[in-house]
């Protein structure tokens, strides 16, 4: 059995994610920027499914 990973991310989801983080970084004067990478990884993992 071969299992494949498929990421169900639409363009609108990723655009809203990036716009939200951009606003957050601007509002906090860059203090939120170190947490962006962790949030991006979590965003991608939460939308990944395993197919058989």
18-30, pLDDT tens digit by residue?
999 999 999 999 9
Q: What is the pTM of this model?
A: 0.83
pLDDT at 35: 97
The answer to whether 22 and 14 have CB atoms below 8 angstroms apart is no
Please state, in angstroms and rounded to a whole number, the distance separating the CA atoms of residues 3 and 17.
28
Q: How far apart are CA 16 and CA 12, in angstroms?
A: 6
């Amino acid at each position: 059995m071969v299992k494949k990973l498929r990421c169900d991310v639409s363009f609108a989801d990723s655009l809203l994610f990036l716009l939200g983080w951009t606003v957050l970084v601007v509002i906090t004067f860059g203090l939120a920027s170190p947490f962006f990478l962790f949030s991006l990884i979590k965003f991608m993992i939460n939308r990944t499914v395993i197919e058989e």
